[in-house]
């Protein structure tokens, strides 16, 4: 990882107690690629100010309102070059729009938006801006996920036949009243999907990223097991891909014993791979008719795609924050290239607004299919 | 395990090279509960004779034909008390019928029959016979499967919400021409289901046995990935259970790196369990809000249901053959009770002809749903 | 596994409640290679009779005394051809002697004897007898142990440098008063070693069997942690092998959380292997500079040595009883060859009286070294 | 983790290609607690300059020589407050001395020094300085290591009886000529220990930190397996602790298939724990007589000591860099407290110069014992 002059970064959302804001800050810092200098950290002005102070922002760069921040920072000589958006989902579009239209690069949490209409408008906003838009589907940043993608692209598995993706959690097994759960179970802020939006999109993005397959249609059965819950907390989905491959996707927030059990298994005519987010430094490669092989990050068998996002030698585990930081590192390279008017290096990969749109379409299709008694719905 | 006077056993099918016949013979022998003394081991007379000799059967008790065997053994003073049927699926009904009508107890491999019509006739044949019918859904014989069932019945998981069952294999990843594969891919002998019949029924039986849930309906998407294959080699199934629980079931014979990956995960309002056939001496119990607990066969936490089918202390692994032998051990206890005109001890549990009928209905529903573009089909 | 005419077997020891007696009986039965027809099952005459009846032995072949049994069985036309000795250690020699001198083959539990003097006498007794002597160091019967041995003999690991063996248990963490513990902690019946005799010898035998290395010397530190215990319940041992390789061996009966954690790791100049008795169907092979490979019993990569002692396909786990039964299967082949005056097939492998002597020397060396403040003691 | 005004940091060593320098830089940055502003990054002036530029240091703060750096930085108004020393071992003492005597806090890599004489001088240098000395035995920073330590201090395991520590690697299986290997195998720069110094000290420090046990004596058998190697590349050590507990320690750089297999197992009269550095977010707790419990970082069962050094929720794995960063985070708290003339908060824990001295004594004792044919040597 290079140590370069940091990009000036702002943040919208992510005030005290917001889990994902802290994650974005650490991820932006690990490689020294960004420096946080401005923020509109909460929708409540006082909390925004207090959070800014706690993060060491100067008062002058702590805003009560994201629009005011966009306007002023765009005018400052040393204004922010990029902004991280870590608000609840329904604010992603309105916030991103203000920065994009002023040429400030946007790094935005997922899912893209809370509605399909917003998602489409955001795609247009990106298209009509000179600024870049990076969506933090962070699991694509793990080195062994890159390895899996490279191997499939190389044909090591042969034609893909079967994809099994899952993302079980357990934290909503009982009714929750904390802040994390509150907005995630509110359709107005989260969107039409509950677990499918919050974690199903991660699983879907991961399988799409790794396999390169385009999803043709899906059939879904969504449930809300906890009484009073307004959005799904468990979802069963069958998938059909262009070219004939088939898949299943399960996500759940009510599966006791599971923390963040994102897991992907892909099988082709020549071999398979298996990856587990909770043990992310390993990748099983199972060529048909041969002993299973355990490939390790930084270790034997890891190829170029994995190694270029690797910081420590094999056996010194990297984790969630390093994977997340890889998205930021790619963002930094892309932003510097754009600023220098250079083409983006071809090996730099990050989730785009288009991936985000596909994710919102996935959520919508799940909800639609489930409401039609699991009929197949095209994506 | 008690060492008792052995039950006189015959076998139909299971000649040289037949994997499952050898398994039944070992399973019948482990506890000394049965002694094999007669057989019609092949549909080819010469192979039948040769196989009988290889197994040490006296020529007089080696038959060229199962019907002749049934007739004569029923008349002998020391004729067989029970018969094991290990033929291809389409022969289960005609063979079982001959023995049942002569009062000889039947231990039959799964799935019950190759057609639903045969399954229903077999149910009637059992009902009108004094003899017992035991179906070797052998995975229900594993001690930690019994443990899981007992815990769920005790309410340790609370109301069941989500069931995830899977059974991936890889041996049919490429076209096969061995004997094992040949009849399993022939609709005339195997029935309408390929992977759903051969292994999907095991996963379905296991989840039904452990959870006690009755399946209300299913939606299935079946595929034949290998060119020329006439039956499914991969199946994706969504399940709805009486009472509102939901499930997914995946079975595959084309998933490289998987040998016999039968795995069951069940989640309720209070906790979950996870069990893996390839590591069968362990059972994860995950009470919500507490550290995960690893329970072991013969070890701490194992209860009465597991212990009564346990032979060796914890840490001395039991395997597939011991689990299979537990079905035979239950069969022996049941047969001796029936012969003594005593009621079956309530703790003796084995898969019945009714379970077999449900399994064939499962196969049929999968095929029907898949042909209707995955519409929900009642079971 | 062949199904052959069973060898007539007797048993000394192994009455009611004796764990290892039941194991020997099952192991002898799995392949149909032996039939138990006589026994002197306890040192208490009444218990001996009762145990015989419970096992279905005819009264005429149930003996109150092992010597009487040896004398009479040797004279009977259909007398036993082999005897299994499953008594406490101090009786192994006197019992074996009586049967060996009458030409009855002996299958004996480990360790060989309770004293080195007895061990040497037993070696002579075997040398002067026509009968075979098989020691049930059963862990050498596991298929993947055979695989490891074959790979090392083939040079797949290069010159061996480092051996790590361990066998932790926890059942004696607190004072025990059950029968299993009672004689094992009594020097008069168990010998000079506690944990080193009961389980250390297994680890030592396993590492010797797999690597083929001869131990030159050892340095040991033995402890008795539980107050009042007269023999070691934990032992730390350093090993030096002929040719320069080095090793460590740890055995313990006071390590909470360990059931039968026998584990072997061997490293050479070109690669390593790792095997764990509690997960015995797998063998890690780690060629230097390549991804780790997981080899499975019955699966890809398993070679001839493993396959000939394999009963079920990959993914259908075999366990402790099958591994134990492989010792009996080898014994059966050896006995039949000896009876036919044929040479033993070269691939038939079983632990011998010489291995047993080495094991007793190992125990003695551990005790001696520990008493000399861990000085190196030649073996 | 708090985001506070960063401490001004310098670095000695850690130029281009030095693995551990990059690790220190990331660790210092993750929580925003430090900002690197000065360096003498190489013993070669040109490399020092080039490395400084690559890291974005201003030329004015890039030094050719560590002494010049200490002198000048101590005089600057905005001079460094702390220095990270990441040179080969033999330079730790001379470098540390220069900064300590000028009141600059020192964060130093392990082992403390290359000789026992230097170690003792360094202890004195620390004692006579107002500045703090923090040794980066980074594995003590992992949350679940803190958890294990807290549980043992709480008595959850009862009196400790047995400690098993190991740290196998494989990277020196064959002769190496890269820079990492070069100085580590040179006695002049590395000290008397090879593997015992480089990784054995980590294992020893970890077991001491977690158990709180003081080592009374050790017996060691050191080997150099690779021809021409001047220092040990494999070491077997037996340990005796004050109070009667016993232990074993194995470290190796020639064990193919092992990357950084640091693993600790501790057993007491009431229970055990097991921890593996390559899977650091998990801790097994095995109370005697109960099912094993898997505790997770950020998850159920994690206590105060773990939670205060935890950044992400359970199931989002933290890794080596986060554990390392926890040492830096503790250092930052300690430095700020010292600067404010406040007592160090009691929960702040980091490895001290005294721990470093004990580590060098451990190395020396291993070498001495091995040269005396593994005689017990007091520590």
The stretches of chain D forming alpha helices (DSSP H) are: 19-29, 45-54, 66-75, 92-100, 116-127, 143-153, 179-184, 187-190, 195, 201-211, 304-307, 320-339, 353-371
Q: Which residues contact A128 (CB under 8 A, 6 or more apart)?
A: none
For testing contact with chain A, the best of C147, C288, C292, C296 (most A CBs within 10 A): C292
- Could you list the beta-strand ranges (E) of A160-289: 160-168, 215-223, 234-241, 246-252, 263-268, 271-276, 282-287
Say whether C56 and B316 touch across the interface (CB within 8 A). no
Q: Does A296 touch chain C (CB under 8 A)?
A: yes
Contact between A363 and B360 under an 8 Å Cβ cutoff? The reply is no
Q: Is A202 exposed, middle or buried (0-12, 13-18, 19+ CB in 10 A)?
A: buried
Q: From residue B213, how far is each of A85, B137, B163, B243, D311 by CA, in Å?
A: 45, 17, 10, 8, 41
Q: Does C321 touch chain B (CB under 8 A)?
A: yes
Q: Which two tokens stand for residue A272?
A: 């398979």
Say whether D269 and C225 touch across the interface (CB within 8 A). yes
DSSP, residue by residue, D257-318: T-SS--EEEEEESSEEEEEETTSTTEEEEEETTS-EEEEETTSTT--HHHHTT--S-TTS--
Angle at A45 between CA A44 and CA A49, to 5 degrees: 120
Nearest CA in chain A to C289: A300
Q: From residue B291, how far is each of B274, B285, C236, D210, D297 by CA, in Å?
A: 14, 9, 32, 21, 11
Contact between A126 and A99 under an 8 Å Cβ cutoff? The reply is no
CATH code of the domain occupying D7-131: 3.40.50.720
Q: Check pLDDT > 80 for residue A179.
A: no
Nearest CA in chain A to C283: A291
Contact between B254 and A164 under an 8 Å Cβ cutoff? The reply is no
Q: Measured between alpha carbons, how far is A145 from A129 in angstroms, rounded to an integer?
A: 30
Q: Check pLDDT > 70 for residue A3.
A: no
For testing contact with chain B, the best of C54, C136, C166, C315 (most B CBs within 10 A): C315
Contacting residues of C for B1, CB less than 8 Å apart: 22, 26
* pLDDT of C190: 80
Q: From residue A217, how far is each of A160, A202, A355, A361, A364 by CA, in Å?
A: 17, 18, 16, 11, 12
Contacting residues of C for B30, CB less than 8 Å apart: 26, 29-30, 321
Q: Measured between alpha carbons, how far is C71 from A19 in angstroms, rounded to an integer?
A: 81
| Mean pLDDT, rounded, for D349-377 | 97
pLDDT in tens, B251-264: 999 999 999 999 99
CA-wise closest residue to C309 among C283, C294, C328, C284: C328
Q: Is C155 exposed, middle or buried (0-12, 13-18, 19+ CB in 10 A)?
A: exposed
pLDDT in tens, D32-84: 999 999 999 998 888 889 999 999 899 999 999 999 999 999 999 999 999 99
Contact between D256 and C272 under an 8 Å Cβ cutoff? The reply is yes
DSSP, residue by residue, C127-181: HT-SS-EEE--GGGGSHHHHHHHHHHHTTTT-SEEEEEEEEE--TTSS---SHHH
Nearest CA in chain A to D28: A30
Contacting residues of B for D301, CB less than 8 Å apart: 290-291
| Mean pLDDT, rounded, for C325-335 | 97
Q: Which residue has the tokens 């052959």?
A: C4
Nearest-by-Cβ selection for D292 from C252, C257, C270? C257
Higher pLDDT among residues C3 and A138, named by residue: A138
Q: Does D2 touch chain B (CB under 8 A)?
A: no
Asked if A7-131 and A141-310+357-378 have one fold, the answer is no
Distance from CA of B355 to the nearest CA of A (A): 26
DSSP, residue by residue, A324-376: HHHHHHHHHHHHHHHHTT-PPPTT-----HHHHHHHHHHHHHHHHHHHTTT--
CA-wise closest residue to D248 among D370, D157, D161: D161
- Tell me what ipTM this predicted complex has: 0.95
* pLDDT of B1: 37
Q: Which residue has the tokens 């008069």?
A: C188
Q: Check pLDDT > 60 for residue D205.
A: yes
Contact between B265 and A263 under an 8 Å Cβ cutoff? The reply is no
- Going by CATH, does the domain composed of A141-310+357-378 fall within 3.30.360.10? yes
Q: Please tell me the CATH superfamily of domain D142-310+357-378, with its number.
A: Dihydrodipicolinate Reductase; domain 2 (3.30.360.10)
pLDDT in tens, D21-33: 999 999 999 999 9
CATH code of the domain occupying B142-311+357-378: 3.30.360.10
Nearest CA in chain A to D276: A315
Q: Does A248 touch chain D (CB under 8 A)?
A: no
What's the distance, Cα to Cα, between the start and end of chain B in Å?
38
Q: Give D219-245 as a 3 state SS string.
A: EEEEECCCCCCCCCCEEEEEEEECCCC
* pLDDT of C1: 38
Q: Which residues contact C75 (CB under 8 A, 6 or more apart)?
A: none
Handedness of CA A67, A71, A72, A76 (dihedral sign): positive
3-state secondary structure of C330: helix
> How crowded is residue C122: how many other Cβ atoms within 10 Å of its Cβ?
25
Say whether B290 and D296 touch across the interface (CB within 8 A). no
**Which DSSP symbol is given to C194?**
S
Higher pLDDT among residues B114 and C184, named by residue: B114
Residues of chain B with pLDDT under 70: 1-4
Q: Which residues contact B200 (CB under 8 A, 6 or more apart)?
A: B167, B193, B235, B237, B249, B251, B362, B363, B366
Q: Is A188 exposed, middle or buried (0-12, 13-18, 19+ CB in 10 A)?
A: exposed
Strand partners, D83: D10, D106
* pLDDT of C314: 96
Strand partners, B135: B108
Distance from CA of B242 to the nearest CA of C (A): 32
For residue A1, what pLDDT band results from cuts at 50, 70 and 90?
very low
Say whether A169 and D315 touch across the interface (CB within 8 A). yes
The residue ranges of every structural domain in chain B are: 7-131, 142-311+357-378
pLDDT in tens, A68-122: 999 999 999 999 999 999 999 999 999 999 999 999 999 999 999 999 999 999 9
> How crowded is residue D314: how many other Cβ atoms within 10 Å of its Cβ?
21
Q: Check pLDDT > 90 for residue D241.
A: yes
pLDDT in tens, A25-61: 999 999 999 999 999 999 888 889 999 999 989 999 9
Q: Measured between alpha carbons, how far is D4 from C51 in angstroms, rounded to an integer?
A: 76
Say whether C257 and D271 touch across the interface (CB within 8 A). yes
Q: Which two tokens stand for residue A112?
A: 């893209």
Distance from CA of D286 to the nearest CA of C (A): 5
Say what the alpha-carbon torsion angle B49, B55, B58, B62 is, to the nearest 10 degrees: -40
In angstroms, how far is CA A333 from the centroid of its own chain? 18
Q: Does B256 touch chain A (CB under 8 A)?
A: yes
Percent of chain C at pLDDT > 70 equals 99
Q: Does D181 touch chain A (CB under 8 A)?
A: no
CA-wise closest residue to A265 among C282, B264, B254: B254
Please, which contacts does A60-63 make with residues 24 or more away whose CB atoms are closer than 8 Å? A61/A10, A61/A37, A62/A38, A63/A38, A63/A39
For residue D362, what pLDDT band results from cuts at 50, 70 and 90?
very high
Say whether C246 and D223 touch across the interface (CB within 8 A). yes
pLDDT in tens, C31-88: 999 999 999 999 888 889 999 999 989 999 999 999 999 999 999 999 999 999 999 9
Q: Measured between alpha carbons, how far is A151 from A164 in angstroms, rounded to an integer?
A: 17
H or E stretch covering C205: helix C201-211
| Mean pLDDT, rounded, for D2-15 | 84
Distance from CA of B295 to the nearest CA of D (A): 5
Angle at A297 between CA A293 and CA A303, to 5 degrees: 80
Q: Does D152 touch chain C (CB under 8 A)?
A: no
């Amino acid at each position: 990882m290079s140590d370069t002059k940091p990009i000036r970064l702002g943040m919208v959302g992510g005030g005290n107690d917001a889990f994902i804001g802290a994650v974005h800050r650490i991820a932006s810092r690990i490689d020294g690629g960004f420096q946080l200098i401005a923020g509109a950290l909460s929708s409540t002005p006082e909390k925004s100010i207090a959070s800014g102070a706690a993060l060491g922002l100067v008062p002058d760069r702590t805003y009560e309102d994201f629009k005011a921040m966009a306007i002023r920072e765009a005018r400052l000589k040393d204004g922010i070059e990029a902004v991280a958006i870590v608000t609840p989902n329904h604010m992603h579009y309105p916030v991103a729009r203000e920065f994009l239209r002023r040429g400030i690069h946007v790094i935005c949490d997922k899912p893209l938006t809370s509605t399909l209409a917003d998602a489409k408008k955001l795609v247009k906003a990106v298209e009509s801006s000179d600024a870049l838009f990076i969506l933090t589907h962070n699991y694509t940043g793990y080195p062994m996920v890159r390895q899996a993608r490279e191997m499939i692209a190389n044909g090591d598995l042969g034609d893909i036949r079967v994809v099994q993706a899952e993302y079980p959690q357990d934290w909503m097994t009982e009714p929750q009243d904390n802040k994390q759960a509150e907005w995630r179970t509110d359709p107005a802020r989260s969107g039409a999907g509950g677990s499918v939006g919050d974690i199903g999109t991660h699983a879907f993005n991961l399988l799409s990223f790794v396999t390169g397959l385009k999803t043709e249609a899906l059939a879904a059965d969504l449930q809300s097991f906890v009484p009073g819950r307004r959005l799904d907390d468990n979802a069963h989905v069958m998938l059909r891909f262009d070219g004939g491959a088939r898949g299943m996707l399960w996500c759940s927030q009510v599966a006791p014993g599971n923390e963040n059990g994102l897991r992907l298994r892909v099988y082709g005519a020549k071999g398979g791979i298996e990856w587990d987010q909770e043990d992310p430094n390993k990748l099983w490669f199972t060529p048909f008719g041969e002993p299973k092989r355990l490939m390790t990050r930084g270790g034997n068998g890891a190829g170029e795609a994995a190694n270029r996002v690797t910081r420590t030698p094999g056996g010194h585990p990297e984790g969630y924050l390093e994977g997340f930081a890889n998205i930021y590192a790619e963002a930094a390279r892309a932003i510097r290239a754009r600023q220098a008017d250079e083409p983006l290096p071809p090996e730099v990969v990050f989730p785009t607004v288009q991936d985000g749109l596909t994710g919102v379409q996935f959520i919508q299709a799940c909800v639609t299919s489930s409401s039609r008694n699991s009929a197949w719905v095209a994506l």
